[in-house]
Amino acid sequence: MATPQMMAAATPKDRKKKRKLKDASKPFNLKYAPHFGMFKELAGKDPIDYIKFCYDMGFTAMFDNGILGRPPAEQEKIANELDRLGMDFGPFVLIADFKVTSFVENKPEVKEILIKKMHEGVEVAKRINAKWALVVPGRYHEKLHWDYQTANTIDNLKACAEVLEPSGLTMVLEPLNTLRNHPGLFLTGIPQAYMLCKAVNSPYCKIVDDIYHQQITEGNIIPNIDYAWSEIAAFHLGDNPGRKEPTTGEISYKNIFKHIYNKGYDGVLCMEHSNSIKGIDGEKRVIEAYRECDDFLTT
């Protein structure tokens, strides 16, 4: 909830914008996490002011796929402000090269590269107070049997988890759809990700369930959440078709949010989508859409 000090710091123009949004200062029931740039018209471009605006709107988490590209000093400023406000930080992208085979390979030089990336991730996580690092295992090998690729991926994931364990940083594997956005990738579904995590058998190897991608790949969203629950550490959000905010497509996000809330989920849900309407009206509509879908305790 916005504090008197924070409201006093806001400009009259900012306060006028906020007053037009229903329940603007009420914290959401779940930790929906906007990305930097989603509310650029309402909040501006300064990352600290942006975080304050999101907090004022009731959000209790943030995420930034581009955090690794920010200068270390800026990373630390962002982390300090999130910590000051008691906000969580969603998974940051550590490995997501869609052009190469990597985890599916049984090659010492590949494993060496992956382990080096894990060490780099640990150092960044210390600076930004991150708990989760996102990993996409790369492309599948067109000339290698699928079972060998699976075995190699498990072996490489085990090696990565061993690096992460002393730091407490958890890698989260993201399955992505191949029908529309990312053809050729090895990891595509929640059941497959669940199998990999069970085989690795480490608390430092879990799943980020991107609901947009999984609606395209397999549907059956809530049952798959239940089946894989023990291995899911985070969620990505976006409606389908279009990958816009909830209420713009076919996914019943209000029911999904209610379901995971009732299961006791306390992690981050990254708002990894664009806005259906441009400008200030579109940014307001995103917040309103989340208010609508978050209003599940009375239904």
pLDDT value at residue 274: 97
pLDDT value at residue 94: 97
Query: 35-70, pLDDT tens digit by residue?
Result: 999 999 999 999 999 999 999 999 999 999 999 999
From residue 212, alpha-carbon distances to 76, 196, 298 in Å are: 31, 21, 26
Note down the domain range covering 54. 4-294
pLDDT value at residue 17: 47
From residue 64, alpha-carbon distances to 47, 99, 133, 265, 272 in Å are: 11, 22, 11, 21, 9
Domain count for the chain: 1
Rg (CA), the chain: 19
CATH code at position 199: 3.20.20.150
| pTM, to two decimals | 0.91
- DSSP letter at 260? H
Give every residue of the chain whose pLDDT is below 50, as ranges.
Answer: 1-19
Longest dimension (CA), the chain: 63
The answer to whether position 257 is within a domain reads: yes
The answer to whether position 226 is within a domain reads: yes
The answer to whether position 299 is within a domain reads: no
Alpha helices (runs of H) in 94-243, residue ranges in sequence order: 108-128, 146-164, 190-200, 211-217, 221-227
